[in-house]
């Protein structure tokens, strides 16, 4: 049959001769126009594309619902299935689903791009389990990434559905207070939620699919020029097809098939055989040897079956199954586990597959079939080499035997990865040990298997044999560690992480040895373990999962008009649209007739001469319309802030990802395929890629004017009078924005006078307008830029968005047709800029009391090949080199390294996160040198209210108030004592604590501090508001509406913001620097005040009238009901670099944080146990939005300082590209407890309604995570007898933590073995 039938949102879809290369997300978005399903990473690694798939399981007569990643599901897998997207869950046009309502009211939405995926993951869980536990809810969301919220409000909103939910405040719940006398509000109190009305509006499963098995029994064959898709429905037919097509790929869950389908370099057509409907491969059989599982069994179904077996049989018999559950708990994501199969995992023979390594250790058997017959293979013989197995070309896996454990057999699974979820292992292990007889301590058999050490699964045969016949005691453990180190060392030769991997593998063995010792001999005398270590060793992965919690405390205004929303925790204005998938992002805009699609052709070399550009193969492809390069330029080929970049490279490329050309075609798919066919020939040159290379080659960007250094006081003299002087270095890694919506643009030519509409998700609309007008050689008044919203930005869409906009505009001009370009995730990461990495070299002078007297500091930043706005951001680093400390003598210098990497760009904090971390780093070194508490040294050196910084900015007393308050709220002194006691008792788990303060000035360069707004009042009383800022999830539009609501004393429901447009607000500045509310809010306030002044005589004459009455009268009196507002900072002073005089900032936002962590010294993994934050945000315009910004920024900063590795190779290619290799925080990465308080009784006369900018300051507080980890490492080093003076750079990754601890199994043996 060549007809594909499936259902989407209850509607039957019939596709005749579908292309096997088509993915579900493409059909939903481009054919069915269901754009609520987003595509962010394109590889199933972020969850934005999550939908629910349902099918009728005829073996159980039940309808099953599960979440899947639509971006990697081939459409041909869906025959006879039902798909549900966010559009069918709820709508603003009818009613929202209860889970959408709770997400909105719980403030779990910021940019909203990830929200439909979150909704669908939760929806699929509730359809399967209407009353889940809180941990089940957290588990269901582990496949969904969010870069904005920090996850806490999402979890809080969804956990209200759990059977064990309650108010996070416990006895202090606001329901237990006299609300009239209490202004403390706890956000999202679950006690105030109504019971769910789940089930009242659920989509009914199609009766056709339930009543008839016709689609289950149909064989399928679909063909395209490149791929043939076959689906048999019985094992016999499968074996015949495999014989006919021995090279064919088998698609079971299809989690890897999408990557093959996208491979454009195939030499011959690809054949795929889908095994989804072969019932023989979905069978289960329990026998005396174990559990026989069909190869088509999904990991999720396997989990359920294993739990049933564990409930049915004894603990001793199901030890392997317990370990398998540990492996499955850490396997991929729920969406991946729902599709991935045990047979598929074995067939890939991946060295990192979690299940494979455990089955190898357990001695599983694999059943194999072909037309020649059946055979059974021991798994030890199944894996034969690097990604190879013993399978013959015509064979398939049919079953896998999971053996029962014997009474004297023990096994364990261990995994170490950069983060807990959605990540492949650095190292994993399946370990098995069997003893002679009951109560015997003599080892009868052992098998130790490891993944990640080499190109294939590694079996430690010598060490396995070494323990056989030996007794379980301290001597054996000591000798086994040495044997293992020697044996594994051979597997990882040539690996730059060799020592780390071997040490982690040893740590696994150490934990396994201790675990089975305690299980088999609970009273064993030669071991002593602290209770926390015992729990850690003996608990399953599921039992180790802990719920996340937090409290958010702030004041709200109670004595104001009901329609005045300023100061109220109003949900994000467009949260409902985001929750329902109705919010329109750039690539959601429906295409017009004749619309074209553009894909960039970029350099694959870091430094090379271009010898040849040949697009002939691309141009010959059907559907390709044209190719653009430097010969297509209309005006100047120069662009960028300093006109030092080329739109299209001409003779030379200077970094990987530099734009050489662009292919224009009739679809995304054709354009992307054709772009890969363009041939570029190069003559390679030697690139410079690191800061060290740049220093050695004296390769630097020039500073404009006198910028680049600040000399305050007399540093040389001060060093001569100090009691102590220390020197050191620190490296600060770079960071990728990883906004969920990649850079996208849609350009529509108007057909006359060179007019053009540009729809883009960019922070700087005027900047886009100017560069496009220049490139097209038309005045700016012909180019109108529209931005409705952005799916995250964080600075990444401020100055580099022209990379997609300019080629698209040139193509639209050339072909006179609409053109859109939406970057794929990997290309976006390679070319659009990132946070600049730093190298700092410092010298600090201080006295015995800890008072710092002098600082000499050199900061080197790797800025890539073009400086872009690097001088401004390095200036920020210099301005914040003091952080919150009064240092009387400072000499700081910045060096802008020029390398053959893509240019860096703005990112949340803009140079301040690096400068502040460096400051806090040397401050901790001062404390450690003096052997004094770090928080005391910070207190001694902190500014006080009324002080003035070395750049002449006055300090408010709220800085020290935040610091004192957070110490009090966190019970810091007692926590410090508790942690010291814990570290003295615990051998391999160590805790750390740190407190850090922050000051941050929201704002832009003084010449940019201005904004405009237009407010229109219509005859029905509704208000349309325009301003120059752009909504990226930070709640800017919501706050602008709140400001207008106060001035007009009007309900926010009457006020609307449609978009940001250069056609309405000219000459707007960029939305960044946490200044959006200050600037645009001032302009909105001005415009509203003008209108109210015009309406005042009418109100005075009719004081009892309504708003609508006054508006009607004003119109009758011919009063203008449109006002243009303008705002600029009254403060206009700039910093004079030559004299060191001036005041670059008007005010600071302050905060402090205390962080507590626990690290595993053997693996380097860590848990953030608790974070307490106190922030001064002035008088908050919207405390819920401000708390959301604080939490989201803190979690992003945690990624910067303690997780995210952004690494370029020596060839200039980004090695950590894509969601699979670049690891932003997941739900499991956030603090187990996160408490946020807004400081009371604060104000700010320099911003609208005494508020303060908040988007960036909290990010800096997450350096407390870094220092808490470092302090835990110091405790480990102290136990190991190592120096506390060691190199520890940012980010504090698991590799660095494990290596720095220096606390290997050999050290631990001394403290654990008696």
**Sign of the alpha-carbon torsion through 1184, 1188, 1191, 1194:** negative
Backbone angles phi, psi at 1006, to 5 degrees: -50, -35
Number of neighbours of residue 183 by Cβ within 10 angstroms: 12
CA end-to-end distance (rounded Å), the chain = 71
Mark 337-354 as b/e (b = at least 16 C-beta within 10 Å).
Answer: bbbbbbbbbbbbbbbbbb
In contact, 265 and 226? CB cutoff 8 Å: no
Of all residues in the chain, what percent are helix, strand and coil, respectively (each to 5)?
35, 25, 40
For 472-522, give the DSSP string: SSHHHHHHHHHHHHHHHHHHTTT-TTHHHHHHHHHHHHHHHHHHHHHHH-T
In contact, 1012 and 1124? CB cutoff 8 Å: yes
Q: What is the spatial distance between Cα 1181 and Cα 554, in angstroms, rounded to a whole number?
A: 12
Q: Which two tokens stand for residue 663?
A: 């292919």
In contact, 887 and 852? CB cutoff 8 Å: yes
| Coil, helix or strand at residue 451 | strand
Backbone angles phi, psi at 264, to 5 degrees: -90, 0
Q: What is the spatial distance between Cα 1209 and Cα 1216, in angstroms, rounded to a whole number?
A: 9
Cα angle vertex 125, ends 123, 127, to 5°? 70
In contact, 184 and 553? CB cutoff 8 Å: yes
In contact, 1083 and 1013? CB cutoff 8 Å: yes
**686, exposed or middle or buried, with CB in 10 Å at 0-12, 13-18, 19+?**
exposed
DSSP state of 989: E
Cα angle vertex 1146, ends 1144, 1147, to 5°? 120
Q: What is the spatial distance between Cα 912 and Cα 1261, in angstroms, rounded to a whole number?
A: 11
Catalytic residue check, 1256? yes
Backbone angles phi, psi at 1055, to 5 degrees: -115, 135
For 1023-1083, give the DSSP string: EEEEES---SSSSHHHHHHHHHHHHHT--GGGEE---EETTTSTTPPPS-TT-HHHHHHHH
Query: What radius of gyration do the chain's Cα atoms show?
Result: 31
Q: What CA dihedral angle connects 353, 359, 365 and 367, to 10 degrees?
A: -30
Q: Which of 187, 741, 1256, 1270 is catalytic?
A: 1256
Query: What residues form DSSP beta bridges with 66?
Result: 53
Mark 597-618 as b/e (b = at least 16 C-beta within 10 Å).
Answer: bbbbbbbbbbbbebeebebeeb
**Residue with structure tokens 């199944």?**
382
Backbone angles phi, psi at 631, to 5 degrees: -75, -10
The count of C-alpha atoms lying within 13 angstroms of the C-alpha of 636, restricted to the half-sphere facing its C-beta, is 12
**Residue with structure tokens 């190199």?**
1287
Polymer length of the chain: 1314
Among 393, 419, 417, which Cα is nearest to 248's? 393
In contact, 773 and 779? CB cutoff 8 Å: yes
Q: Which residues are catalytic?
A: 1256
């Amino acid at each position: 049959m060549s007809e594909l039938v499936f259902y989407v949102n209850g509607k039957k879809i019939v596709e005749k001769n579908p292309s096997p290369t088509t993915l579900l997300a493409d059909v939903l978005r481009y054919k069915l126009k269901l754009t609520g399903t987003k595509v962010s990473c394109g590889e199933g690694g972020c969850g934005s594309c999550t939908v629910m798939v349902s099918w009728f399981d005829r073996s159980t007569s039940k309808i099953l619902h599960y979440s899947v990643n639509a971006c990697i599901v081939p459409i041909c897998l869906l025959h006879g299935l039902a798909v549900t997207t966010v559009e069918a869950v709820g709508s603003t046009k009818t009613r929202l689903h209860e889970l959408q309502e709770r997400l909105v009211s719980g403030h779990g939405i910021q940019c909203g791009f990830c929200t439909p995926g979150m909704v669908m993951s939760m929806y699929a869980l509730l359809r399967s389990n209407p009353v889940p536990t809180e941990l089940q809810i957290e588990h269901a969301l582990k496949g969904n990434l969010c870069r904005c919220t920090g996850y806490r409000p999402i979890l809080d909103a969804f956990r209200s559905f759990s059977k064990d939910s309650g108010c996070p405040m416990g006895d202090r719940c606001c329901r237990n207070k006299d609300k009239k006398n209490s202004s403390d509000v706890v956000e999202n109190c679950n006690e105030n939620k109504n019971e769910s009305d789940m089930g009242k509006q659920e989509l009914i499963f199609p009766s056709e699919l339930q009543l008839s098995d016709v689609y289950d029994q149909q064989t399928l064959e679909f063909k395209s020029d490149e791929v043939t898709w076959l689906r048999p429905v019985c094992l016999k037919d499968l074996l015949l097809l495999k014989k006919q097509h021995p090279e064919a790929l088998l698609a079971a869950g299809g989690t890897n098939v999408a990557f093959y389908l996208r491979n454009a370099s195939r030499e011959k057509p690809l054949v795929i055989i889908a095994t989804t409907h072969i019932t023989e491969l979905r069978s289960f059989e329990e026998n005396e040897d174990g559990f026989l599982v069909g190869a088509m069994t999904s990991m999720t179904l396997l989990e359920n079956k294993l739990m049933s077996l564990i409930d049915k049989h004894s603990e001793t018999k199901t030890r392997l199954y317990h370990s398998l559950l540990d492996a499955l708990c850490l396997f991929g994501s729920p969406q991946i586990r729902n599709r991935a199969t045990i047979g598929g995992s074995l067939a890939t023979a991946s060295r990192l597959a979690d299940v494979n390594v455990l089955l190898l250790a357990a001695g599983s058997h694999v059943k194999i079939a072909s037309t020649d017959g059946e055979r059974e293979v021991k798994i030890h013989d199944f894996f034969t080499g690097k990604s190879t197995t013993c399978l013959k070309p015509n064979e398939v896996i049919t079953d896998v035997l999971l053996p029962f454990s014997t009474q004297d057999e023990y096994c364990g699974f261990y995994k170490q990865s950069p983060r807990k979820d959605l990540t492949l292992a650095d190292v994993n292990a399946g370990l098995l040990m069997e003893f002679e007889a009951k109560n015997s301590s003599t080892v009868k058999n052992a098998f130790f298997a490891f993944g990640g050490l080499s190109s294939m699964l590694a079996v430690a045969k010598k060490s396995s044999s070494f323990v056989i016949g030996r007794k379980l005691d301290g001597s054996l453990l000591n000798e086994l560690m040495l044997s293992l180190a020697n044996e594994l060392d051979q597997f990882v030769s040539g690996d730059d992480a060799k020592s780390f991997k071997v040490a982690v593998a040893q740590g696994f063995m150490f934990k396994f040895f201790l675990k089975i010792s305690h299980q088999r001999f609970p009273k064993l005398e030669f071991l002593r373990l602290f209770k926390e270590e015992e729990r850690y060793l003996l608990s399953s992965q599921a039992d180790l999962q802990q719920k996340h919690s937090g409290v958010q405390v702030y004041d709200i205004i109670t004595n104001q008009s009901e329609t005045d929303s300023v100061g109220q925790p109003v949900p994000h204005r467009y949260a409902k649209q985001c929750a329902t998938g109705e919010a329109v992002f750039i690539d959601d805009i429906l295409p017009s007739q004749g619309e074209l699609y553009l894909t960039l052709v970029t350099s694959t070399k870091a430094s090379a001469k271009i010898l040849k550009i040949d697009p002939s193969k691309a141009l010959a492809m059907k559907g390709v319309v044209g190719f653009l390069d430097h010969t297509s330029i209309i005006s100047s080929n120069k662009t960028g802030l300093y006109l030092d970049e080329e739109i299209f490279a001409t003779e030379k490329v200077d970094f990987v990802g530099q734009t050489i050309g662009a292919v224009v075609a009739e679809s995304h798919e054709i354009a992307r395929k054709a772009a890969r066919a363009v041939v570029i020939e190069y003559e390679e040159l030697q690139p410079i890629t690191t800061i060290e290379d740049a220093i050695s080659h004296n390769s630097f960007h020039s500073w404009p004017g006198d910028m680049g250094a600040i000399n305050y006081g007399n540093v040389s003299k001060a060093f001569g009078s100090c009691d102590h002087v220390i020197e050191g270095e620190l490296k600060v890694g770079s960071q990728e924005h990883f906004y969920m919506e990649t850079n996208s643009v849609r350009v529509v030519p108007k057909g006359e006078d060179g007019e053009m509409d540009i729809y883009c998700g960019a922070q700087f609309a005027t900047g886009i307008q100017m560069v496009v007008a220049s490139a097209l050689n038309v005045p700016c008044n012909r180019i109108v830029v529209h931005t409705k919203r952005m799916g995250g930005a964080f600075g990444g869409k401020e100055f580099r968005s022209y990379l997609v906009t300019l080629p698209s505009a040139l193509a639209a001009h050339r072909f006179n047709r609409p053109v859109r370009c939406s970057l794929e995730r990997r290309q976006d990461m390679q070319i659009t800029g990132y946070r600049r990495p730093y190298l700092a070299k410092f010298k600090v002078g201080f006295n015995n009391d800890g008072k710092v007297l002098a600082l000499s500091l050199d900061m080197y930043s790797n800025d890539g090949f073009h400086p872009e706005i690097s001088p401004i951001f390095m200036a920020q680093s210099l301005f914040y080199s003091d952080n919150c400390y009064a240092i009387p003598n400072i000499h700081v210098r910045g060096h802008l390294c020029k390398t053959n990497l893509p240019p860096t760009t703005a990112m949340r904090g803009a140079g301040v996160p690096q400068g502040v971390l460096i400051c806090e780093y040397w401050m901790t070194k001062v404390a450690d040198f003096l052997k004094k508490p770090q928080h005391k040294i910070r207190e001694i050196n902190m500014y006080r209210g009324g002080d003035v910084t070395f750049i002449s900015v006055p300090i408010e007393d709220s800085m020290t108030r935040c610091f004192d308050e957070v110490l009090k709220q966190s019970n810091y002194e007692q926590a410090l004592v508790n942690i010291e006691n814990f570290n003295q008792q615990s051998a391999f788990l160590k805790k750390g604590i740190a407190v850090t303060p922050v000051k941050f000035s929201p704002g832009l360069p003084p010449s940019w501090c201005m904004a405009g707004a237009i407010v229109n009042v219509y005859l029905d009383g509704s208000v349309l508001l325009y301003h120059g800022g752009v909504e990226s999830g930070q709640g800017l539009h919501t706050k602008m509406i709140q400001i207008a609501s106060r001035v007009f004393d009007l309900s926010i429901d009457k006020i609307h913001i449609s978009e940001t447009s250069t056609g309405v607000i000219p000459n707007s500045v960029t939305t960044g620097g946490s200044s959006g509310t200050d600037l645009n809010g001032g302009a909105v306030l001005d415009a509203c005040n003008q209108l109210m002044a015009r309406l005042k005589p009418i109100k005075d004459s009719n004081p009892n009238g309504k708003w609508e009455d006054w508006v009607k009268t004003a119109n009758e009196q011919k009063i203008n009901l449109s006002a243009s507002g303008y705002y600029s900072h009254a403060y206009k002073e700039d910093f004079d670099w030559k004299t060191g005089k001036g005041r670059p900032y008007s005010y600071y936002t302050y905060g402090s944080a205390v962080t507590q962590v626990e690290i595993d010294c053997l693996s380097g993994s860590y848990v953030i146990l608790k974070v307490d934050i106190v922030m001064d945000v002035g008088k908050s315009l919207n405390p819920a939005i401000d708390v959301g910004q604080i939490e989201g920024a803190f979690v992003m900063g945690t990624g910067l300082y303690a997780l995210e590795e952004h690494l370029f190779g020596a060839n200039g290619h980004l090695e950590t590209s894509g969601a699979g290799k670049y690891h932003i925080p997941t739900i499991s990465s956030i603090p187990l407890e996160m408490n946020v308080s807004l400081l009371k009784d604060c104000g700010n006369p320099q911003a609208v309604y005494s508020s303060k900018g908040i988007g960036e300051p909290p990010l800096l507080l997450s350096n407390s995570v870094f220092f808490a980890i470092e302090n835990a490492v110091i405790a480990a080093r102290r136990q190991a007898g190592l120096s506390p003076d060691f190199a520890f750079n940012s980010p504090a990754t698991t590799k660095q933590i494990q290596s720095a601890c220096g606390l290997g199994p050999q050290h631990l043996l001394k403290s654990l073995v008696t």
